[in-house]
């Protein structure tokens, strides 16, 4: 059993390489949307588009995954990427995944680590870190709403 535990710990440490931002609280989808909208506004971020893949899949006869995707952005981020590193436009608008599980709403960002690895130097690296920090602050705000 000890060997199993060691192997499991190793597996978990390897899986931990991917590091999206994740927060959760006990609200339904509608309340989560309201809270995220407010949190985004507090951080000068705009909700660009909601992708209701839960209803899109259910409407086509698939199982409802209780997942929605939310795109969020700011004009300054787009202008910066256009001017300094157009390849970063591929990361914008930023994406949040909303997952409803047993009364808990989990909100998850994309994993920024491959982007940070791909752009090891300033200014792109610093900009990705700034977007990540902005999103983290917004998600913390969402949890507090």
Partner 1 sequence: MKYRIPHFFLILLTTWLVQVQLVQAAEPEPMVLTATAKGRSMEQAVEALSQAIVNHNYTFVRQQAMDSRLVPYEQEVRSVRLVYFCNFAKMNHALKLDPRATQMLPCRITLVETPSGVDLIAVNPAWVSQNMGNPALHAECETLKLDYLAILEEASL
- Give me the residues that bind partner 1 (CB under 8 A), please: 1, 3-4, 7-8, 10-11, 14-15, 17-18, 20, 46-49, 51, 53, 56-57, 60, 62-63, 65, 67, 69, 73-75, 78, 82, 86-87, 89-92, 95, 97, 99, 108, 110-111, 113-114, 118
Sheet architecture: strand order including 67-73? 20-25, 104-111, 94-101, 67-73, 46-51
Q: How far is the CB of 112 from partner 1 (least distance, A)?
A: 11
As measured in angstroms, the least distance from the Cβ of 59 to partner 1 is 9
Nearest-approach distance from CB 37 to partner 1, in angstroms:
13
- Rounded to whole angstroms, the Cα distance separating 100 from 103 reads 7
Q: Which is nearer to partner 1, 65 or 144 (CB)?
A: 65
Provide φ and ψ at 20, rounded to 5°. Answer: -75, 160
Q: How far is the CB of 81 from partner 1 (least distance, A)?
A: 9
Do 104 and 25 form a contact (C-beta atoms < 8 A)? yes
- For 52, 61, 65, 99, the CA distances from 56, given in Å and listed in that order, are 6, 9, 10, 15
């Amino acid at each position: 059993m000890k060997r199993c535990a060691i192997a499991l710990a190793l597996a978990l440490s390897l899986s931990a390489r991917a590091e999206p931002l994740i927060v959760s609280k006990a609200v339904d989808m509608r309340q989560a949307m309201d809270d995220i909208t407010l949190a985004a506004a507090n951080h000068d971020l705009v909700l660009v588009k909601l992708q209701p893949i839960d209803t899109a899949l259910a409407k086509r006869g698939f199982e409802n995954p209780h997942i929605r995707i939310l795109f969020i952005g700011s004009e300054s981020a787009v202008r910066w990427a256009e001017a300094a590193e157009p390849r970063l436009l591929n990361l914008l608008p930023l994406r949040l995944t909303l997952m409803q599980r047993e009364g808990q709403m989990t909100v998850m960002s994309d994993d920024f680590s491959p982007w940070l690895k791909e752009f090891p130097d300033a200014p792109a690296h610093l900009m990705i870190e700034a977007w990540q920090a902005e999103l983290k602050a917004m998600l913390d705000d969402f949890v507090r709403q």
